[in-house]
Structure 1
Amino acid sequence: MIRILFLTILIGIGLGLAAWLVLAAQFAVAIATREGALIAAPKSAVRDDLPDAVTAFADKGLSGGETVATVRFTQDADMQRSPGQDWLPLTARQVVSASAPGFLWVARQGGFGPVPMVRVLDAYDPQRGGVLAIRLLGAFPIGTLSGGPADRAEAMRYLAELPWCPDAILTNHDIGWEKTAEGFAATLGTKGGEARVEFTFDSDGDIIAVSAEERPATMPDGTTALLPWRGTMGDYDQMGERRVPRRAEVGYVYDTGYAPYFRAEITQYEVLR
């Protein structure tokens, strides 16, 4: 009887390990496919139709260098899944396309050696759309968001993080720009509707704040709502070949007020040629 129980436990462990290996491999392939497509994108020509203040900001970020098609950086970050919950420390890498809308952010929280406790994929490109996927042990789904709302939300993230990729400001011809009372707004068309983010500039011409009036947000009860979205950027510094903000924070405005859910610091930065 004990022997049968022991064999049953071993079989269960083996099946669980096999399932983990398959799901982890599938998730890794999905990440690699998106990342490879971003890195392989060709370089685009520099635009000549941008507002002067936007061009000046991007040129300052370029630090006298030439534009590239893709940039990559790493972050130390903290994320809060819902207001009032504990902040979770993360390490992340991000790849951003400058020539066409697209980014990939892969984060890890905790874990044992090469196996993360939680792995998060946040990504967007016009062909595959937007996705937010959270995997326990890098394999087992514990949260996924895709479809029209995800397309719009992730395109907004791409726009909001343009200060981290000045090359995209200069070479992404899909982005629309218009003057606002506080600065300028950037727009992108998506399958989920128009993505629009407004930028506030300081007296030195640096972007210090981003905002959107209606960004899809997942509420604590699992429903999706359109909420005002706010963010700040600062601590501009030379990181490799680019001058970018080292720190950023974003959050939603609820009925009870503003609540941040993500804050990050850039730790390494590189341009990909």
Structure 2
Amino acid sequence: MGWLRGSFDRLEGRLLAELLAEAAEATAAAGSNSAAANWTSPAAPQPQALSELPPCVQRYLQLADAASCNYTVLTSTQVGQFKYAAEDASPWQRMKVKLCASPLVPAFHWSARCTFKPLIGLRGFDSRVRGSGRLDWRLWGWLPAHSANGPALDRTLLVRWLADAPGCPQAMLPSASLQWETVPGCTSEAHAVLTHGGITVSGVFTFDGEGLVSSFRTEDYVMPLAGGGEELRPWLVRYRGHKRVNVTDGSSSCNRGGDGGSGGGSSGQQGTLFVPTDCEACRLEPDGREVPYVRFQLDKLSGQRK
């Protein structure tokens, strides 16, 4: 039991260290103001000018003051609920979450603790580092329950990073990998196209009457099937409760994961971010039903600056 828990902790520690290294490399490349800043490939397109973006995206980026953000890694602690099964009658289970993500490159480490049955705890993570996705979930933090990697997960977690981007508006800025397109006939929606590690995913962000991001829908989310296998399915995320949130110094907040705690060593205020504080993800069924299966409320934010 002890060595299994220890191996899990060491694996998570290595992934977090790689995430920080990848973010540092992206920061250095962006600071060089050269072709190296295109962290996809030398053939990557140049970032769009803000004036070229769909008007709804321009308005949102101005409201969120995205251009003034200069974080290399942002860590959020969240409390939430999830459904172990997709059925409407399935009970909601509580969970604590910690998300460490880079707004400069599609890399993140999402870890959680939850209890889905009496006396049965679950601990695990979903991680995308250097273009490769990996998930590992263990009962009581040591007994292997579910793990995965491979091309399908790489794609799904790239979509996840895009869906999480409103949590750090800086990540919504156009880059060599993130391009924005207008949605014909609609002034409140914009099509985001993200390319990284040889994978391209996309989705549509919707903005409300106040100019705030309200939802994200994609057709590129890979869903596991109950009988085995997987398929691309529509996936929807809703954002609510936008407000300005204090960001504390997070110089050590990504050095440990999995506890969904206070962030581990954050102290002092770095600034504020205007972000949604409530998010809900839904599976979209073939009959058109939205089936929510996870909800999160933001607790705290900490960040590392350039």
TM over 0.5: yes
Residue equivalent to 1:108: 113
Q: What is residue 211 of structure 1 aligned with on the other side?
A: 217
TM-score (ref. length: structure 2): 0.73
Q: Aligned partners of 1:64 and 1:28: how far apart in 2? A: 32
CA shift for structure 1 position 147? 1.0
1: CA distance, partners of 2:138 / 2:86: 21
The answer on 1:158 being equivalent to 2:161 is: yes
Q: Which residue of 2 aligns with 1:49?
A: 49
Residues 60 and 86 of structure 1: is their aligned pair in 2 closer, same or farther, counting only changes over 3 Å? same
Does residue 1:89 correspond to 2:91, yes or no?
no
Structure 2 match to 1:6? none
Compute the displacement of 1:56 (Å): 3.2
Structure 1 equivalent of residue 8 of structure 2: 24
Between 1:19-28 and 1:239-248, the stretch displaced more is 19-28
Take 2:174 and 2:213, find their aligned partners in 1: how far apart are those partners?
Answer: 18
Deviation at 1:193, TM superposition (A): 4.0
1:111-122 paired onto structure 2 within 5 Å: 117-122=121-126
Contact 1:148 1:192 in 2 (8 A): no
TM-score, normalized by length of structure 1? 0.82
Give yes or no for contact 1:231–1:249 (8 Å, CA) kept in 2. Answer: yes
Match status 1:233 vs 2:239: yes
Report the Cα offset of residue 124 of structure 1: 1.7
Given the alignment, which residue of 253, 263, 266 partners 2:295? Answer: 263
List aligned pairs for 1:123-272, cutoff 5 A: 123-125=127-129, 127-170=130-173, 172-180=175-183, 181=186, 182-190=188-196, 193-240=199-246, 241-256=272-287, 257-272=289-304
Q: Kindly tell me: are residues 190 and 65 of structure 1, through their superposed partners in 2, closer, same or farther at Cα, counting changes over 3 Å?
A: closer
The 8 Å contact of residues 74 and 266 in structure 1, kept in 2 or not, is answered as: yes
Shift, 1:23, TM fit: 3.0
Aligned residues: CA RMSD? 2.6
SS at match of 2:242: strand
Q: Using the alignment, how far apart are the partners of 1:213 and 1:25 within structure 2?
A: 34
- The separation in 2 between residues aligned to 1:192 and 1:218, in whole angstroms, is 22
Q: What residue identity is the alignment partner of 2:164?
A: E
- Decide whether aligned partners of structure 1 residues 87 and 192 sit closer, same or farther in structure 2, where only a CA change above 3 A counts: farther
Aligned to 2:85, the other structure's residue is in SS state coil
Asked whether the 8 Å contact 1:149–1:192 carries over to 2, the reply is no
Count of equivalent residues: 252
- Residue 63 of structure 1 deviates from its aligned partner by 7.4
TM-fit CA distance, 1:64: 8.2
Q: Percent identity over the alignment?
A: 21
Greater CA drift, 215-224 or 199-208: 215-224
Q: Which amino acid letter does the alignment assign opposite residue 246 of structure 1?
A: T
Quote the Cα distance in structure 1 between the aligned partners of 2:230 and 2:151. 11
Is the deviation greater in 63-72 or in 173-182? Answer: 63-72
Q: In 2, distance between residues paired with 1:21 and 1:229?
A: 33
The answer to whether the 8 Å contact 1:178/1:185 transfers is: yes
Q: Any unmatched runs of 5+ in structure 2?
A: 34-46, 247-271
Q: Which residue does 1:5 correspond to in 2?
A: none
